[in-house]
Amino acid sequence: MKGMKFKDDIQEKVLGDLRTKGISIIPNFLNDKDCQLIDNKLHEYPNSAFDRRKRNSYFLNFQTDEDVFNKCPFFACPELIKIIASDSLMSISDEYSSSQTYLKDTFSYRLSNKVNIFPWHIDNYNVLTKKKDSFNQLVFLLYLTSTKSRIGGTEFLLGSQELALKSEITKLYWDINDKNLKNYKSFYVPPEAGKLVISLAHIIHRGGKNTGVSNNRFNRSILRWQTTDQVDGRTIHYIPTHYIAKDIKSRLFLAGNIANNIPSSLDRNSENYPTYFLINTIIIALQNLIIKPFKPLLKLLVSLKGELKRSSKRSLIKKIIRKIF
């Protein structure tokens, strides 16, 4: 992934789409190989560092038998900074909001064996204050895997941002049968690895849409981040020090008003990176670096020890040669 390539000439198209439709799609933003590498880093390593619990409203890292939710994507895959903090994507947020923007709510997840999930909702809603946040926010969805075209995608209601803008509408979720939703045209985006979807945070949408038979099941991996023009609304991201961008604009984008004092990779950040997660991650990393390479040798030694007890020297030598070659 060192030579990762992605589209960087998309600003004009995306800004035009956002202002007219509220959503823009960039197919093949990343290639399949890079998507697979990112997906593996985010959701397969290190398994033991994730807290095994059910999903909850605080979006902690967790892993179940079927799902993985990673609120620490930069820690698991710091190379993502090169994409998320790229000039081409940062400029889209800045130009759309006509101001300095910051990064918030960055996470990834892998879902398995799902049918329909996620109700209709908006993404610029503060669940703590129960009020809407700034309307100059964008959401970025980068699909890391593909599903069948009719299941597991994200469905948007074109024009529904006008409903979210109404001052009397302050809720996060809409009932599926809400009569207000019938006024807007459905726009379904099939998940395809490498596809980047950029939308207004206040357009009503839902993920995991199943447009086929109701019991069709799907698997899906996705990386999601959001930008905001509100300093108070930004998230302090935990990033290994040597990956932090040197230019002040990128540092502001990644870390808000603490850009000149970004914590090192071992400092605690209680909001995103609980200490137990960091400790477990370091332990698993050390185990993989130290123990894993020697596992085949240990297995061979155990096997030879057993053979030594019941074999002659001549036959033992033959068996050793066979095992090696």
Q: State residue 268's pLDDT score.
A: 40
Query: E strands along the chain, which residues?
Result: 23-26, 62-63, 68-70, 102-114, 120-121, 125-126, 131-132, 138-143, 151-158, 173-174, 185-189, 196-200, 205-210, 218-228
Give the model's pLDDT for residue 310: 59
Q: Rounded CA gap, 232 and 236, in Å?
A: 10
For the chain, the average pLDDT equals 75
What pLDDT is stored for residue 266 in this prediction? Answer: 40
Output phi, psi for 22, to 5 deg: 90, 0
pLDDT, position 267: 42
CATH number at residue 112: 2.60.120.620
Do 267 and 300 share a structural domain? Answer: no
Question: Averaging pLDDT over each range in 4-18, 63-77, 167-181, which range is the top one?
Answer: 4-18
Mark whether 226 and 312 lie in a shared domain: no
Least-confidence region, from 26-35, 42-51, 177-186: 42-51
**End-to-end Cα separation, the chain, in angstroms:** 33
Does pLDDT of 54 surpass 50? no
Overall average pLDDT of the 197-203 stretch: 94
In a domain, 316, yes or no: yes
pLDDT of residue 134: 83
- pLDDT (0 to 100) of residue 144: 96
Pairing outcome for strands 138-143 and 218-228: antiparallel
Residues 262 and 302 in one domain: no
Q: Would 142 be classed as within a structural domain?
A: yes
**What is residue 15's predicted lDDT score, i.e. its pLDDT?**
94
In a domain, 53, yes or no: yes
**What's the confidence (pLDDT) of residue 58?**
40
pLDDT given for residue 171 in this prediction: 61
Mean pLDDT of 122-150: 83
305-321 mean pLDDT = 57
In this prediction, residue 200 carries a pLDDT of 94
pLDDT for residue 320 is more than 60 = no
* Structural domain includes residue 285: no
Residues 99 and 39 in one domain: yes
17: confidence class by pLDDT, cuts 50, 70, 90: very high
Please state which of the ranges 98-112, 144-158, 229-243, 272-286 shows the lowest mean pLDDT: 272-286
Are 143 and 188 in the same domain?
Answer: yes
| 83 and 192 together in one domain | yes
Asked whether residue 268 falls in the same domain as residue 305, the answer is no
Task: Evaluate if residue 253 carries a pLDDT over 80.
Answer: yes
**Lowest mean pLDDT: which of 2-11, 105-114, 141-150, 302-311?**
302-311
pLDDT at site 278: 58
Which domain does 31 fall in, by range?
11-272
Q: What percent of the chain has pLDDT over 90?
A: 25
- Secondary structure class of 130 (helix, strand, coil): coil
Counted domains in the chain: 2
More reliable by pLDDT, 260 or 139: 139
pLDDT over 80 (residue 153): yes
Binned at pLDDT 50, 70 and 90, residue 264 comes out as very low
Q: How confident is the model at residue 106, as a pLDDT?
A: 87
296 and 268 in one domain?
no
Per the CB < 8 A criterion, the answer to whether 118 and 180 are in contact is: no
Average pLDDT over residues 178-203: 90
Mean pLDDT, residues 6-13 taken together: 83
Least reliable range by pLDDT among 90-99, 209-218, 268-277:
268-277
The answer to whether residues 172 and 120 belong to one domain is yes
Q: Are residues 312 and 247 in the same domain?
A: no
Residue 283 within a domain: no
Which of 62-66, 257-261, 291-295 has the least mean pLDDT? 257-261
Domain shared by 173 and 260, yes or no: yes
Separation in Å, CA 286 to CA 73, 161, 227, 281: 19, 48, 34, 9
Nearest alpha-carbon partner for 234 in 116, 133, 130? 133
Judge if 176 and 131 occupy the same domain: yes
